[in-house]
Structure 1
Amino acid sequence: MTYGSEHMGFGKMFLLNLGLLITVAYLVNVIYKYAFTKISFKINYFLSLALFIFAGWVCMKFGFQLNKDVIFDLRVVPLIIASGVYMQPLALMVIGVGIGLARLTFGVNDAAIAGLINLSILGVVCAGLSIWMRRSNYRLIVKGAITIGIVNILNTINIAVFGVLPMKKYMLEIVPVTFPLTLVLSVVFALILWDFQIERRQTLELKYANELLRKQTEELRTAKIVLEERANQLALASQYKSEFLANMSHELRTPLNGIINLAQIISESEGGDEAANGDDTPNYGTIIYKSGQDLLKLINDILDLSKVEAGRLEVVQEDVVIAEMAQMLDMHFEHAADRKNVAFEIRIEEGLPCTILSDAQRIGQILRNLLSNAFKFTEKGQVKLEIRKTGASDMMQGEWIVFAVTDTGIGIPEDKHTTIFEAFRQADGSISRKYGGTGLGLPISRDLARLLGGFIRLQSKVGLGSTFSLYLPLTSEMKEQGTREIDPIKTDTVALGSHS
């Protein structure tokens, strides 16, 4: 065989090897897509090792046979590719030894033994290169180029040392042809396989993302169903509770009113008898009467709160005379102010309309709650009710009337301005023990204010007293909008807070 024909033979066979490797890679990709994903991981792993060894055997089967014993081919290429695929060094050594043993299937001779030694050494080297690639910070393309170069150079040296051809002939006649071809075709196949890998990786990532999205969607759907069922159960239970309490209004109040009336009669009778006899024994009728009044107020508060929650509390729109409202409140709290020796003042701003369209009963209920709190928590100083229109300092749009209740009492910590509007909550647990009360006054007042189209705003500091302002709309447009356009939390005050 002439030197020129050898060159042509190397080129044709190496290109044939490359085509076969591409075909094998494509078939493996198809088989993996439709078969490997359905089998266990261990079987999948061992089959992949066998495929790399098979690819090396195919290269030798269709390699360039220099003589009856010596075969030149691209059997190192599958080993190079495997070094970038497997993270376990042992797998690369198995592939190297496996391809070397596959060489023995074409005949056991000195050339075959040299091929086994060569591939075994390359397997160990590729295992070391795999460890280096995992720990190195170089780009993948740089690590791949270094690996291809090292394996091809070492392959050439091994053949020169362990091969059966004379070293001079091999180095001067064969290496100048086989080394560039092997190097270039290794790079070409690596790039082709890399493109395959990118496409397969994208497909797998998309499949994984779709599966994950499907599972998350299913979990969200299940969680939504469970939450909806629980929400419906809670809403139904709350509705039953609210309707029960709202319907119990007559049943609770009727016997209690009878007890209170009888206690009042007994109290009046005891008062006359004790005055006549000069007896200082406890006035039990008075105690029963006062306890009954307290219980009735508590029941009324609970029923009002339940009616609001059940949506059964009606608001009656009528003309409310502001002066009459102020006079009634003055008469109601006059004795409380005298008893506690606290100054009580009501101021009505000039220019206010004589009447406003709202519910007089609910306005009175809110203001009585606010004034009761003010007197309860004020030991000295004054309590003041100011009725005015909103000004520039209120930072409000539209026309509003303000009923501001100011006291010089104990004040409220800023971190409690929202908590105290929750039912049965106090600014401090000790307050209920010292001052009494259930914590229902302000939640009811807040809900009533909303029903009237307004809201309650709080300004308070500990030790400096508090100001509770009831804002009610003066125009029907503002009444319809209610509090949807109001965000008093963003001002220097806190909405819907008090120290009930």
Structure 2
Amino acid sequence: MGFGNMFLLNLAMLVTVAYLVNVFYKYGFKRLSRRTNYLLSIVIMILSGWICMKFGFQVNDDVIFDLRFVPLIIASVTYSNPITIIVIGTGIGLARLTFGITDAAIAGFINLSILGLVCACLNVWMRRSQSRFAVKGFVTILVVNVVFSLNSALFGVYSFNKYMLEIMPIVFPLSVLLSMVFAFILRDFQLEHRQYLELMHANELLMRQTDELHKAKIVLEERAKQLSIASRYKSEFLANMSHELRTPLNSIINLAQIIAESDDTEDDLSEYGRIIYKSGHDLLQLINDILDLSKVEAGRLEITNEEVVLAEVANWMQVHFEHIALQKNIRFEISREEGLPDTIISDPQRIAQILRNLLSNAFKFTHEGCVQLAVRRALPEEGVQGDWLVFSVTDTGIGVPNEKQSAVFEVFQQADGSISRKYGGTGLGLPISSNLARLLGGFIRMDSEVGRGSVFSFYLPLKPGKAGEEVKVAVDSRL
């Protein structure tokens, strides 16, 4: 077997060892401790050198040519401790003695021990150098091969001239070339191994995050369940309590009204009766609002679809607010567009409740000018599709700033915190009206300017059965 074939066989054996080590690490070594893996890697390096000698080119009984120095090249790149590299070089040199203690074996031991010191120095240089990895690798391979060849010429059994003139011109180029080939192959193994480790780390991290998310999901579901139960209990409590409070409160209001309207009582007592009646009536209105809100939250508010006469709705609002308009010296106008249907199918009680809330707010915040209720069809430029009936309540009151307009539809919110002290009220009217409008298949839009008044438009589908998809688009832009 020639030098070329021998070196190729050595290269094949080294690649096989590298592959087997990679497989063993994936399925066995990775479960061992870091220290154990470190010691095993040193043993594998020495074993690789021994395998190279075992399958080397044996010139005679004493002389063997092989790539035993290649594991040292890999060690100089892989390990961070120079002492470890010296141990590997000495170990490979001692492994040479297992083939017999001869002059060639002792020369091989000396050669590998010196080469271990050289590789340790190269390791220190590579860790301190700023050069690219490819450059450092090439310099290391070249230096190791040169030193190995010189040591073989100086300490080997062949004369210096014979080795340098006959053997080195053949062995040196082959060893450099095959050393570089193996370095590239091992580099590829290393990159694959690094990708494998990164993938394992990413999988472990993903599994931990998945477990944490699963635990967090369980906790959130449990909390959501508790909040849902608490919200249901609260809504049921409010609904029941509001109902229980209304019965005695109605009695107080009725008795107060009797006292206030009695002609046989003194003036002060009659005035007290009127105060009790007004306070009781306001409290009853608040309880009714809380009752409606709690019913909406609890899903217990029922909508009845029946025939609604539009003319009667206008008359209800006229009768209800005409007296208030006279008291505040404000014009109250109601208009109805021509061509509207005489009747629609909806819930007359909830329509009246929404309009009462909108008109009550309009009169509350308007000191002069007028309040108008207009009943008309929705225009195409208003951004709605289909047939919609619009109840527009327009006032010339104080108006609402742009940045505060979204707050008026929130529960217990008003455009200004001082509003409740100046004008009274809890801020439930508009949220209840907005929820009721959605239950009826419609929505409420607001257009307001400070100092000029507001327009609240209640959109109600003329055909409730076909309004589902249209209202979904329109509700988002109601403010």
Same fold (TM > 0.5): yes
Q: Identify which of 333, 339, 359 aligns with 1:371.
A: 359
Residues of 2 paired with 1:97 and 1:236: CA distance? 71
Q: Identify which of 426, 448, 460 aligns with 2:436.
A: 448
Which amino acid letter does the alignment assign opposite residue 68 of structure 2?
Answer: R
Structure 2 gap ranges (5+): none
Residues of 2 paired with 1:376 and 1:352: CA distance? 30
1:377-435 CA-to-partner distances (Å, cap 9, x unmatched) read 23333322221101122121111010111223333333333333221122332222222
SS in 2 for 1:383: strand
Matched, 1:46 2:36: no
121-130 or 388-397: which moved more?
121-130
SS in 2 for 1:402: strand
Instruction: Summarize the Cα distance change of 1:112–1:210 in structure 2 as closer, same or farther, 3 Å threshold.
Output: closer
Equivalence for 1:29: 22
SS in 2 for 1:418: helix
Residues of 2 paired with 1:417 and 1:65: CA distance? 96
Matched, 1:345 2:333: yes
8 A contact 2:372–2:394 mirrored in 1: yes
235-244 or 198-207: which moved more?
198-207
Deviation at 1:60, TM superposition (A): 4.1
Task: Give matches, 1:397-476, under 5 Å.
Answer: 397-476=385-464
8 A contact 2:443–2:475 mirrored in 1: no
Matched, 1:120 2:117: yes
Task: Give matches, 1:277-426, under 5 Å.
Answer: 283-426=271-414
Residues of 2 paired with 1:159 and 1:337: CA distance? 118
413-422 or 103-112: which moved more?
103-112
SS in 1 for 2:41: helix
Matched, 1:179 2:151: no
Aligned sequence identity (%): 60
Matched, 1:477 2:470: no
Residues of 1 paired with 2:135 and 2:342: CA distance? 89
8 A contact 1:160–1:170 mirrored in 2: yes
Deviation at 1:488, TM superposition (A): 4.7
SS in 2 for 1:100: helix
Task: Give matches, 1:165-314, under 5 Å.
Answer: 167-269=160-262, 272-274=265-267, 283-314=271-302
Q: Identify which of 84, 92, 110 aligns with 1:102.
A: 92
Deviation at 1:146, TM superposition (A): 5.3
Number of aligned positions between the proteins: 472
Residues of 2 paired with 1:375 and 1:294: CA distance? 16
Instruction: Summarize the Cα distance change of 1:442–1:193 in structure 2 as closer, same or farther, 3 Å threshold.
Output: same
8 A contact 2:289–2:428 mirrored in 1: yes
Residues of 1 paired with 2:475 and 2:440: CA distance? 17
Which amino acid letter does the alignment assign opposite residue 399 of structure 1?
Answer: D
SS in 2 for 1:259: helix
Deviation at 1:362, TM superposition (A): 0.6
Instruction: Summarize the Cα distance change of 1:267–1:167 in structure 2 as closer, same or farther, 3 Å threshold.
Output: farther
Instruction: Summarize the Cα distance change of 1:335–1:38 in structure 2 as closer, same or farther, 3 Å threshold.
Output: same
Which amino acid letter does the alignment assign opposite residue 188 of structure 1?
Answer: V
Which amino acid letter does the alignment assign opposite residue 462 of structure 1?
Answer: V
Which amino acid letter does the alignment assign opposite residue 447 of structure 1?
Answer: N
Residues of 2 paired with 1:308 and 1:68: CA distance? 101
SS in 2 for 1:404: strand
Instruction: Summarize the Cα distance change of 1:312–1:171 in structure 2 as closer, same or farther, 3 Å threshold.
Output: same
Residues of 2 paired with 1:184 and 1:358: CA distance? 92
Instruction: Summarize the Cα distance change of 1:11–1:255 in structure 2 as closer, same or farther, 3 Å threshold.
Output: same
Calculate the TM-score normalised by the size of structure 2. 0.87
Residues of 2 paired with 1:481 and 1:349: CA distance? 26
Equivalence for 2:474: 487
Residues of 2 paired with 1:472 and 1:313: CA distance? 18
1:444-464 CA-to-partner distances (Å, cap 9, x unmatched) read 111110111111111223344
SS in 2 for 1:417: helix
Residues of 1 paired with 2:150 and 2:336: CA distance? 108
Deviation at 1:473, TM superposition (A): 0.5
Residues of 2 paired with 1:154 and 1:416: CA distance? 85
SS in 2 for 1:429: coil
Which amino acid letter does the alignment assign opposite residue 474 of structure 2?
Answer: D
Instruction: Summarize the Cα distance change of 1:22–1:441 in structure 2 as closer, same or farther, 3 Å threshold.
Output: same
Which amino acid letter does the alignment assign opposite residue 181 of structure 2?
Answer: V
Instruction: Summarize the Cα distance change of 1:315–1:130 in structure 2 as closer, same or farther, 3 Å threshold.
Output: same
Residues of 2 paired with 1:32 and 1:408: CA distance? 83
SS in 1 for 2:418: helix
8 A contact 1:93–1:127 mirrored in 2: no
Deviation at 1:191, TM superposition (A): 3.6
Instruction: Summarize the Cα distance change of 1:388–1:154 in structure 2 as closer, same or farther, 3 Å threshold.
Output: farther
Equivalence for 1:3: none
Structure 1 gap ranges (5+): 1-7
Deviation at 1:295, TM superposition (A): 0.9
Which amino acid letter does the alignment assign opposite residue 54 of structure 1?
Answer: L
8 A contact 1:344–1:382 mirrored in 2: yes
Residues of 2 paired with 1:233 and 1:96: CA distance? 67
Residues of 1 paired with 2:314 and 2:76: CA distance? 92
Which amino acid letter does the alignment assign opposite residue 94 of structure 1?
Answer: T
8 A contact 1:270–1:285 mirrored in 2: no
When the two chains are superposed, the root-mean-square deviation of aligned CA atoms in Å is 3.1
Residues of 2 paired with 1:253 and 1:70: CA distance? 113
Equivalence for 1:5: none
8 A contact 1:97–1:120 mirrored in 2: no
Deviation at 1:328, TM superposition (A): 2.0
Residues of 1 paired with 2:33 and 2:299: CA distance? 62
Instruction: Summarize the Cα distance change of 1:161–1:345 in structure 2 as closer, same or farther, 3 Å threshold.
Output: farther
